[in-house]
């Protein structure tokens, strides 16, 4: 339908946010099984968000600046930490004063408490990072309704050509 003529169904639009400051540097290791994991290493991760919404008149949908700021703030929360998953079936986290110990397959891996971010995810993977962003972006359901948002997809990249995307449909 042309933009001039309204329809009973509001037109949909996809806003893509992939700004250069949507990034975070973090250490992690992927756990593949009860006995296999990677060594600790890091990446400069980047984040891209697609938001599907309905047009609200005045030639626009919601003001995407609100979500730009939110994604950048979430990236800052993950920036310059070693990220450990608290919901892994294979990793036990022990907090002891200034240290955090990750217990994996008989290993007791020490970290300084001040270097570690414990995230409620199953594994420190791209797909779980994407899920964490998605869950945080969808916390304010009232705002999503007010902005006529029907779906959000978050894609996290660990470098060019390597990413995982997760999507939630709201409408
Ligand atoms: N399903 C998933 N599989 C794997 C993940 C993941 O997040 N989800 N992650 C890893 C590794 O952590 C990651 O691939 C390690 O980085 P790596 O690719 O080795 O290094 P680069 O990003 O520099 O890429 P290069 O191909 O080495 O240039 C494995 N599997």
Residue from 129, 158, 160, 163 to probe ligand 1 pocket by mutation (most atoms less than 8 Å from CB): 158
Question: Ligand 1 atom closest to Cα of 30?
Answer: 12
pLDDT tens digit string along 62-94? Answer: 999 999 999 999 999 999 999 999 999 999 999
Say yes or no: ipTM exceeds 0.85.
Answer: yes
* Residue 2 in domain: no
pLDDT tens digit string along 120-149? Answer: 999 999 999 999 999 999 999 999 999 999
* Residue 3 in domain: no
Rounded distance from Cα 46 to ligand 1 centre (Å): 14
CATH of the domain at 97: 3.30.479.10
What residue owns the CA closest to ligand 1's atom 30?
A: 30
* Residue 4 in domain: no
Domain range for 141: 10-169
pLDDT of residue 10: 73
pLDDT classification of 7: cutoffs 50, 70, 90: low
pLDDT of residue 4: 56
What pTM value is reported for the model? 0.93
pLDDT tens digit string along 11-45? Answer: 999 999 999 999 999 999 999 999 999 999 999 99
Residue from 125, 132, 163, 165 to probe ligand 1 pocket by mutation (most atoms less than 8 Å from CB): 125
What residue owns the CA closest to ligand 1's atom 7?
A: 125
Number of domains in the chain: 1
Which residue stretches of 23-125 are H helix? 65-78
Lining ligand 1 with CB less than 6 A are: 30, 38, 43, 125-127, 158-159, 162, 164
């Amino acid at each position: 339908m042309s933009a001039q003529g309204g329809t009973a169904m509001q037109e949909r639009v996809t806003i893509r946010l992939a700004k250069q400051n949507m990034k975070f540097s973090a250490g992690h290791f992927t756990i593949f099984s009860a006995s296999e994991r990677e060594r600790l290493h890091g990446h400069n991760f980047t984040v891209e968000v697609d938001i599907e919404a309905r047009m609200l008149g005045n030639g626009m949908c919601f003001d995407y600046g609100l979500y730009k700021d939110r994604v950048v703030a979430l990236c800052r929360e993950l920036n310059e930490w070693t990220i450990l998953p608290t919901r892994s079936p294979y990793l036990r986290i022990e907090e002891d004063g200034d240290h955090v110990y990750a217990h994996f397959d008989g290993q007791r891996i020490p970290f300084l408490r001040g270097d570690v971010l414990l995230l409620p995810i199953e594994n420190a993977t791209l797909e779980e990072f994407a899920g964490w962003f998605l869950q945080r972006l969808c916390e304010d359901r009232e705002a999503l309704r007010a902005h006529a948002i029907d779906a959000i997809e978050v894609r996290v990249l660990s470098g060019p050509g390597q990413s995982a995307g997760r999507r939630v449909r709201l409408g």
